[in-house]
Structures are given as C-alpha cells and as structure tokens.
Amino acid sequence: MINSGKKLMTGLAGLLFCCLVAVSCYATDFFPETIEMNVLTDLYGGVVFDHDLHVMITEGCAVCHHHTTGTPVVDSYCAKCHADEGPVETVSCQGCHTLEPVTAQSMREQRDVYRYHDDKPDLKAAYHLSCLGCHMEFGAPAGCQDCHARTEAGDAFFRSGQFAPAGSAVGPAH
Amino acid sequence: MSKITRRKFLAGSVAGSAAIAMAPTKKAFGANLEGFPDGMGVLVDLTRCVGCRSCEAACNKEQKLPEPDKSFDDFSVFDERPHGEHRRPTEKTYTVVNRYDQTKTEPVYRKIQCNHCNEPACLTSCFVNAYKKTPEGAVIYNDKVCVGCRNCMIACPFNIPAFSYSSALNPIIKKCIFCYDTRLKDGQVPACVESCPQQVMLFGKRKELIRVAHARIRRSPGKYVDHLYGENEVGGTGWLYLSAVPFKEAGFNVSLPNEPIINNVKDFLAIVPMVLAIWPALFTGFHLLSTKGKSHGHGEGHSHEEQEEH
C-alpha cells in the first residue's frame, strides 16, 4: 500500500514536472521570454515584462490574450463568438489596442467594423486594467513605481521628488 | 357710464395680468432643456479608479494652478477630513479624488469636479451673468465680471465652485471649466481624461456616453448598480457616473431631484415681472377709480351719491 502510494506520488510529481517543462519549453519556443513595453513612455519609463513568468502563473493565454492565441477562451463575452477558433495573426496588445486615447466617437467607429468590440480600451488602459486588475486581486505589487520607474518629467508632473512642494513630508519615491 | 368703465377696466386688468403670468412661464421657462444636442460629457466608471491622483496632477499642470500643499503621489490626502468632510475642490485644485471606505468591498475612489449640468444652477443664480453653458457642453465663467458674491457656491448641488479666499483684493470663483480654453473648444480630450492610466473616464457626446454606460450595465449586470448618476439628476449633467456600490456609499448626493434646480424658483420668478409691471398699474387704477370725483378732499359724502345718479 505504502509502496503503491509512493509510486503514485512520484508518478504525479514526475507528470507535473513534465508538464511544467513542456509549458515552459512551449513558451520559450514560440513566445518571447520578455516583452519590452516602451511605446508610451513619458512620465514613466518602459516596462520589461517577464512574459515567461506570467505564462507560468496564469491559467492560460486567454486570460490576457482574449481569443487570439487559439487556447480555450476564458472571458464568456469573447466566447460567445470565438469559442472554437484557432490562433489569429495579431496577438500583441498594441496590435489591437490603440495608442490614441479612446473616445465615444472612436468607439462608435470601431463598432462599425467589429460589431461587439465596442468598448475596447486604448493601449495604456489595456495594460493597466489587465495588469493592475490581476496584481491587486492576487496581492502582487500594485504601486506605480513597482512596475515602472518614474522619469524626471514624471516627478515634475506629480510635483514629487526634487519638485515636491516646500514643507511636504513626501520623499522622492512613494 | 362709469360703472361699465370700471367693470371693463377690472376685467381687462385681471385678464391681462393672468396672460402675463402664464405666458412667460410657458415660453421662457416652461420647456425643459435637454442641453445642447451635441454637448460633450465624460463617463466616469468608478469600478476602474485606483486612486492614483494622476488626474489631479494633470489638472494642475493644464490649468497652471499653484503649487499643491502635498505632492500628487502623496496618498495621505485620502485621510484628510477638512471641516469633517471629504476633500472638495478649492481655488488650487479644480478636481479631487477621494477614497470612500466600504464595509464589504475594497474602498471606492471617486473623482469630483464640475459636472457641467445641462441647466446649471450656478448659471441661473449668477446676477452678473458671469456663467455660460457653451454648445460644447462646458459651464465656463468670465472671471472679469465675477464680483465674488458666492451665490453659485450656494446654488450648486454638488458643492463645486470654490472661492479664492486667499485673494484680499479681488476674490473670485474658481472651478473646472472642462479644459474649455485649451482643449474642449478644439474637440480635444480634457487633460484629466487623457492622463488616466485606467481609462476611468471616457470623453464623448453626452448622448453616446449614456448609450455606452447602459451597454456596460447590460453586459455586466452583477458588476454595476443599475443607475447612471447624472443621466437625470438635476436635469442631467455632462459628467456621468457608473458605480459598483450604491451611490450613497461613494459619497454622492442621492436626494437630488430630477428637475433642474431652477425649477424650485421658476414659479416664483414668473410672478416677479407680473408683480413689478402689473401691480403698480392695477392698483393705481383701483385708486384712481375709487377716488374719482372726490379728489378735492374728504367729508363730501354726498358727492359719491351724486355721481351714481348721473
């Protein structure tokens, strides 16, 4: 009994290990290990996103990539149309989410092209809503400068650091 | 002869005053404005706000406001309770973000600024006509004619206009103008909206925003309270709010009527021209008629009878 139990545990552990290796190989083979997010830098510097790490810890690609990677769709709203689809050409965030701020007008124009993509956030919001939503839910770092360092322009904008108001108690970094 | 004149006169006066009392009510005040058809607004989705205060910093920069008391990355301001209340806009900050702690869920952050009403109470309360509702939807004001009476501060149902108490010589009203001068009149997105990392705010035509807001509620019925704050409150506001918690718990005034604030005094205001224009003439007429023929003093009791006999 003990032996078979041990064997089972060893087998399961081995299986888990294989899965992890397979997933990580899959990730490193077909997807970038890291992604540099630096198209929006101004008040903050860019972010080097550890894609590998996030592949390991999320349920599936679709948590971030909606329906574009061909893996099972998580969001029930996306699944209404895209439940059984293969991967599509555009997978990156900035392939779909625009740099320009979204307005009601741009949303309406978008709706004329893709009927149900009518409330799509712009790139800055797509990043933050997706990243910060998860980070806050799972207790991961959620401060602004936990992910991206503030630039001098950012310090001036927030009136912080060397631009802090005289007499305020706040130091350079929050 | 005199009897008929008197009767005619009275009938005419009553009919005339009634007509004047009714006519302006119907024409000048009666119809509820739906605002300018292409008026812009902003949809604020409170479920997305994380309280980063970027919008406050953006407003400060765009409006060239004075240096704040604390840095915009200092979150201790959320614990401040000036005069026992959450922070409100001041002469130095046209918008503020406040935190409202919840018993069951995570705290809710709410940005406040001028809501740019369709029928602004500040505008109707201003006796020097400093305020203006522009076709683009902004409620702006001319600080050159403002006399600092602070009527608008009392009239505003959202406690938005602030007063430059620090100015000894020319204290005037200060408030959010929807970035009218620098952005809105050119169709550009307001500074706070642009700065938001979470796209809490969506800029667009008010009519379209109402549609977007209701679509969001329909799509995620469990996520939102089924109400769009500002759609009907005080006759409709340009800035609209969606929330996951009851609006009262996010610090909103939920006792506001759907009627514009001006409706509280419309009936009274309609009577004012009647009182001022008709009453003097009416009562002068009464006086003249009642004293006709006895203008030469008292004690001529028989003269009235004589007149009747004619």
At B94, which CATH number? Answer: 3.30.70.20
Q: Tell me, yes or no, whether B3 lies in a domain.
A: no
Contact: B198, A129; criterion CB under 8 Å = yes
Å from A8 to nearest chain B CA?
Answer: 43
A104-113 and B206-219 helices, crossing angle to 10°:
60
When the candidates are 3.90.10.10, 3.40.50.150, 2.60.40.10, 3.40.1710.10, the CATH number that belongs to A32-163 is 3.90.10.10
d(CA B16, nearest CA chain A) in Å: 51
Together in a domain, B223 and B153: yes
Buried/exposed code over B153-168 (b: 16+ C-beta within 10 A; e: otherwise)? bebbbbebbbbbeeee
Same domain flag for B237 and B280: no
Give me Rg for the CA atoms of chain A.
21
Cα gap A78→A80, rounded to integer Å: 5
Residues B26 and B119 grouped into a single domain: no
Say whether residue A80 is in contact with chain B using an 8 A CB cutoff: no
DSSP A34: E
Q: Are residues B159 and B254 in the same domain?
A: yes
Sign of CA dihedral B203, B206, B207, B211: positive
Q: How many domains does chain B have?
A: 2
> With contact defined as beta carbons under 8 Å apart, do B183 and B190 qualify?
yes
Low-confidence ranges of chain B (pLDDT < 50): 1-2, 24-32, 303, 306
What's the pLDDT tens digit per position in A128-174? 999 999 999 999 999 999 999 999 999 999 999 999 998 665 544 44
Regarding whether B160 and B44 lie in a shared domain, the answer is yes
Cross-strand bridge partners of residue B288: none
Q: What is the dihedral of CA A100, A103, A105, A111, to 10 degrees?
A: 80
Of A118, A132, A165, the CB nearest to B68: A165
* A168 contacts chain B (CB < 8 A): yes
Low-confidence stretches of chain A (pLDDT < 70) are 1-5, 12-29, 167-174
Are B256 and B233 in contact by the 8 Å Cβ rule? The answer is yes
Partnered with residue A35 across adjacent β-strands are A49
B224 and B246 part of one domain: yes
Tell if the CB–CB gap between B197 and A168 is shorter than 8 Å: no
pLDDT at B25 (0 to 100): 45
Q: Which tokens belong to A2?
A: 């003990």
CB atoms A101 and B209 under 8 Å = no
Rounded to whole angstroms, the Cα distance separating B235 from B257 reads 8
Which positions in chain B touch A128 (Cβ < 8 Å)? 197-199
Looking at the complex, does the CB of residue A157 fall below 8 Å from at least one CB of chain B?
A: yes
Residues B62 and B19 in one domain: no
For residue B153, the model assigns a pLDDT of: 96
Is B117 within a domain?
Answer: yes
Instruction: Give the range of the structural domain holding residue B152, as residue numbers without chain letter.
Output: 40-259
Cα(B290)–Cα(B292) distance, integer angstroms: 6
Indicate the residue of B60, B71, B189 with minimum beta-carbon distance to A160. Answer: B71
Instruction: Answer yes or no: do B281 and B190 share one domain.
Output: no
CA distance linking residue A41 with residue A151, whole number of Å: 9
Q: Any chain B CB within 8 A of the CB of A158?
A: yes
Same domain assignment for residues B159 and B59: yes
* CB pairs A-B closer than 8 Å: 97
pLDDT, residue B118, reads 95
Q: Does residue B5 lie in a domain region?
A: no
Cα torsion for A89, A94, A99, A103, to the nearest 10°? 70
Residue A12 sits at the chain B interface (C-beta within 8 Å): no
Please report the ipTM that was assigned to this predicted complex: 0.79
Contacts with B61 (C-beta within 8 Å, 6 or more apart), sequence order: A157, B191
pLDDT at A115: 83
Instruction: Indicate if B46 and B164 belong to the same structural domain.
Output: yes
Judge if B196 and B275 occupy the same domain.
no
Q: Is A31 on the interface with B (CB under 8 A)?
A: no
Digit-coded pLDDT (tens) for B177-203: 999 999 999 999 999 999 999 999 999
